[in-house]
Structure 1
Amino acid sequence: MKRYKQLFNKLKNNKQGAFLPFIVLGDPTPEISLKIIDTLILAGADALELGIPFSDPLADGPIIQNSNFRALNAGNTVIQCFEMISKIRHKYFQLPIGLLIYANLVFSRGIENFYINCSKLGVDSILIADLPIEESKPFRETALYHGIDQIFICPPNPSDDLLYKIATQSYGYIYLLSRTGVTGIEKPANLTPKIVIDKLHSYKSSPLIQGFGIYDDNQVKQIIASGIDGIIVGSALIKIIEDYFNTIDIMLREIKIMATKFKSASIKFC
């Protein structure tokens, strides 16, 4: 059974939503990045969403853009990120690991070659932020062949046709956007309309995970209570890296506090 399926079955039985933190690998350094991941997992992260540093992250707001730039300025490369993923997989064999990246990172290495490398590393899913589902066939077919879940983003107000495509072609989970625009905590998350949740469920979709603009535990409680299976939090956590760049112990402590709150808020009927 795939790791995502095992995870969501376990969480459902335990009446919990999933907490998926997002960080950019190598920010601020590879060594500290791995310590941040250890901290997140110890604080209750159910799976990881990892970014590979990219010079033009158009879907991201300034907090995550700066995270990419810090990682690039520190000299991180795709190969170094793959080495970090290998260490994470070796240490946490059952933990689902997903990549949330941009298409040029895949194209530059070749679709087949990129997915082969990810499969060998034990990557469970790939979400390409700037890949429209209408142009995704080569990626989907390659992902399927190599046993990787290709994940797609569902916008706040999708057409029925787009909803159906996402429900039937996104595996592992579906990333629900809380709002339009770019990532960040400047604008708060909105609840996903019930009609969107109900239609996705009627199509027997993969679990629903909501992201964009999530920065406190009250939001998480409302999202989980609305019927969503989990949350992705990136900017709120990465802001801590930015704020405590030069005081690593405090950075890790603050990340642990925030992550623990998010995971606690995801528990249903408490």
Structure 2
Amino acid sequence: MGRISTAFDRLRSENRKAFVAYIMAGDPDLETSLEVMRGLPEAGVDIIELGVPFTDPMADGGTIQLAGQRALAGGQTLARTLDMVRRFRADDPDTPIVLMGYYNPIYNRGVETFLKDASEAGVDGLIVVDLPPEEDSELCLPALAAGLDFIRLTTPTTDDARLPTVMQNTSGFVYYVSITGITGAAEADPQAVAPDVERIQTASGLPVVVGFGVKTPQNAEAIASVADGVVVGSAIVAKIAEGKPVPEVLDFVSSLSDGAHRA
């Protein structure tokens, strides 16, 4: 089994929910973001979601967009992001890492080259938000063949007619977007989320983690109580944007993971 499946098996055996933390690679600079990344597992993070900066991040709200701009201005590239993963893996062989981003940088590098480099670096899964299932032959199927999980986003507007198509080549887990909109928007509502999570669990047979609109330990606990896990991104990235010292950022992450693990 891969690291993602192993992590969810371990969490199930411990009767705990997954806490997934997102940071942008290279924000505010390469070394600081690597220092934060290295501290995430000890802060209670079960899966790391590492953003790949891109010039046209259509699914991201202002907080993540600005993080990407800072990273790009500092010279962050897909190659440097993969190098971050390699450096992280030198000390941590176990924590799953999912790259989240857009297809253009991967296409630019070449799918075959990217998948080879990502696998060798220690990447476990991909979330590519601008490739629909109709384009699975572009990246999804080659990624699965290379041993990388391909994780889909589902939303409140993914109805029963569309869901089987979205799920057909999904692996690892399903990322449920709790709100209609962009990252960092309104707070997620667990009562509204619960029925869709159950519907997607049934359709996919995979763990379902919920992201977008999760900002506080209390909200993380509430959302995790109705799902298999919770993702927090913008709230963590905002702390980095404020220039908080790394230990303070990681303390905040610990408070969120404590909330998720209480569920």
| Equivalent position of 1:187 in the other structure | 186
- Report the Cα distance in structure 1 between the residues aligned to 2:171 and 2:143, rounded to whole angstroms: 10
- Seen in structure 2, the aligned counterparts of structure 1 residues 193 and 80 have a Cα distance that, compared at 3 Å, is closer
Deviating beyond 6 angstroms after TM superposition, the runs of 4 or more aligned structure 1 residues are none
Matched letter for residue 42 of structure 1: E
| Equivalent position of 1:238 in the other structure | 237
Structure 1 residue 105 displacement after superposition: 1.1
Structure 1 residue 66 displacement after superposition: 0.6
Matched letter for residue 146 of structure 1: A
Contact 1:168 1:203 in 2 (8 A): no
Q: Provide Cα deviations, 1:125-158, integer angstroms capped at 9, x if missing partner.
A: 0110111122223312101210001111001131
- Report the Cα distance in structure 1 between the residues aligned to 2:199 and 2:77, rounded to whole angstroms: 40
Structure 1 residue 43 displacement after superposition: 0.8
Indicate the larger mover: 250-259 or 111-120. 250-259
- Report the Cα distance in structure 1 between the residues aligned to 2:28 and 2:183, rounded to whole angstroms: 19
Contact 1:39 1:255 in 2 (8 A): no
Corresponding residue SS for 1:42 = coil
Contact 2:176 2:197 in 1 (8 A): no
| Equivalent position of 2:215 in the other structure | 215
Structure 1 residue 198 displacement after superposition: 2.7
Matches within 5 A, 1:59-138: 59-138=59-138
| 2:42 maps to 1:42 | yes
- Seen in structure 2, the aligned counterparts of structure 1 residues 73 and 205 have a Cα distance that, compared at 3 Å, is same
- Report the Cα distance in structure 2 between the residues aligned to 1:236 and 1:193, rounded to whole angstroms: 19
- Seen in structure 2, the aligned counterparts of structure 1 residues 243 and 194 have a Cα distance that, compared at 3 Å, is closer
Q: TM-score, normalised by structure 2?
A: 0.94
Corresponding residue SS for 2:175 = strand
Structure 1 residue 77 displacement after superposition: 1.9
Matched letter for residue 241 of structure 2: E
Corresponding residue SS for 1:22 = strand
Matches within 5 A, 1:192-203: 192-203=192-203
Number of positions where the alignment pairs a residue of Structure 1 with one of Structure 2: 262
| Equivalent position of 2:253 in the other structure | 259
Contact 2:4 2:172 in 1 (8 A): yes
Q: Percent identity among equivalent residues? A: 32
* Contiguous gaps of at least 5 residues in structure 1: 245-249
Matches within 5 A, 1:21-40: 21-40=21-40
Indicate the larger mover: 201-210 or 169-178. 201-210
Contact 1:167 1:206 in 2 (8 A): no
- Report the Cα distance in structure 2 between the residues aligned to 1:2 and 1:254, rounded to whole angstroms: 32
